Every structure is written in C-alpha cells, then in structure tokens.
C-alpha cells in the first residue's frame, strides 16, 4: 500500500516538475526565438509551435512510460487469486473448462 502511494506521489512530482521546467523553457527560450533575416514571421512562428509541440510530446511519452512500468510492476507483484503458488505457463487455465 505504501509503495503504491509512493509511486503515485513520485509520478505527480515528476509531472509537475516537468511542466514547470517546460513552461520555463518555452517562456525563456522559445518565445524570444527569432530566425535571422526571415522573410516573414510565419517561418519563425511555425518553428516555435513545432518545437513546443515536440517538447510536449516528449513529456507525454516519458509520463506514459513511467506509468506503464509502474502498472506492469504492480500487476506482476500481485499474487494470483486464491493464493495459489502454481505457476501457469499459459498452457492450462486456473479455472475448470466447460466441456459440455
């Protein structure tokens, strides 16, 4: 139980820390970014949007991977129903088959 709460808190801390860091990067690096001698502001604007979208997608992917690993770790750590220690290799189910 404590492990689950700790994992949840760590994920939340990671998400908030990365959001604040991402907002700082966007505010201090991307917003003042200007391409030298650009014909118009469209190229600069598109590059700002693409870089910001790339940062967001990387952040979401890292978040997804962390949560996915925690989830499968918890699934693997759980004991089978009924407290059986029998390891099913996928050949036979743990429940009786309906033969009728």
> For the chain, what are the domain ranges?
2-75
76: which 2 tokens? 């693997």
Asked whether residue 92 carries a pLDDT value surpassing 80, the answer given is no
Rounded Cα gap, residues 67 and 35, in angstroms: 38
- Segment 1-33, tens digit of pLDDT: 787 788 888 888 988 898 899 889 888 988 888
Q: Identify which has the larger pLDDT, 80 or 5.
A: 5
From residue 50, give the alpha-carbon distance in Å to each of 44, 54, 56, 89. 10, 6, 10, 47
- Segment 46-72, tens digit of pLDDT: 888 999 899 889 988 988 998 898 888
């Amino acid at each position: 139980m404590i492990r689950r709460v700790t994992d949840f808190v760590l994920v939340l801390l990671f998400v908030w820390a990365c959001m604040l860091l991402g907002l700082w990067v966007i505010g201090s690096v991307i917003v003042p970014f200007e391409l030298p001698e650009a014909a118009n502001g469209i190229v600069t604007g598109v590059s700002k949007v693409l870089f910001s979208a790339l940062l967001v997608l990387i952040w979401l992917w890292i978040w997804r991977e962390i949560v996915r690993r925690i989830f499968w770790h918890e699934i693997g750590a759980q004991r089978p129903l009924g407290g059986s220690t029998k390891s099913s290799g996928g050949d036979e189910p743990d429940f009786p088959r309906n033969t009728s």
